[in-house]
Structure 1
Amino acid sequence: MTELRQLSLDAYHARGIIDHTDMLWLPVQLGLGQGRVLNALVDEAQDLTPLRQAFVVHVTGLRTQTPGRLILCGDTEQSIYLYAQASPEGLLQLAREIGARELPLSVSFRCSRRVVAVAQTVSDFIEAAPGACEGAVEHVPAQALDVQPGEAVLCRLNAP
């Protein structure tokens, strides 16, 4: 066991002190709560770190004789927590390990046809819903923006 893990374990046993990471690690390490969650749904599962994956598998008891049920909702093309060791491949690996059945949700009921067409330039997974409106996609240079109080701007970058 690493020194940091041992220090966390000692702090928990001596004074009951835990931090956020301990809330995930200690149940797995100490065998607490295994199989206590009968049904779990994890949204944005592509962003589960290895520790969070271990925690979810532990509390649902997926590796026991009486496993619970785990539903993982995720899109490997939308992973944003790579810096925290979450990996789109990790979601696929976990799905294989637990024998998950894939039920694709490829039809977008939120986006117009034009938005879906732009998304299809980087993903062949998405398709527009039947009856989706045509919609519009526009690029507005930052210099041309006239943002008023109460309005919001959705962008992929926080700087030019």
Structure 2
Amino acid sequence: VFAIDELHLPVRNVVGDVPREEYFVGGAIAEILVDKTHPVMSGMPARAKIFVGSSPVFTTEEGFEGAAIAKYASSGTPLLSGYFLGEEYVQGFAAALEAHHGEGRVVLLGMRPQWRGQPFGTFKILFNSAFYSQEVAATVQKNKKFWEIPIVKEEKN
């Protein structure tokens, strides 16, 4: 969320204000769906395994330009291993976004692609992000079928 705040991106962490009693991921391996047509996700499987731990989950706000490049499934559990309380808060939301900012792009990752034993499956995301140049970004066609913004679930009273 540092980049969101500092760059004033029209993006929000949907789990940022959810009470810890309702949403907590101390460390887990989760499954996400990947837009394989996007260069940052090049070489990734359609269903990728990622490490999450207090990781942001994204939605976009008015004025957003860019694309979701990875998301949580809209139903079912993303949990493969570990502890994941409140999985309903992530269903359908973005795990990674490409946001336009000025003349460049910002890649937001709601995961830890470099974490311990998981990098063998997710280093591609980290390195693809580092090599995602303006020249490459200019040729990318947004995959409009990949993600529709879900409705944010209201906190339980």
* Normalised TM-score (structure 2): 0.25
**Larger % of strand: which?**
2
Higher relative contact order (CA 8 A, sep 6+): 2
**Larger % of helix: which?**
1
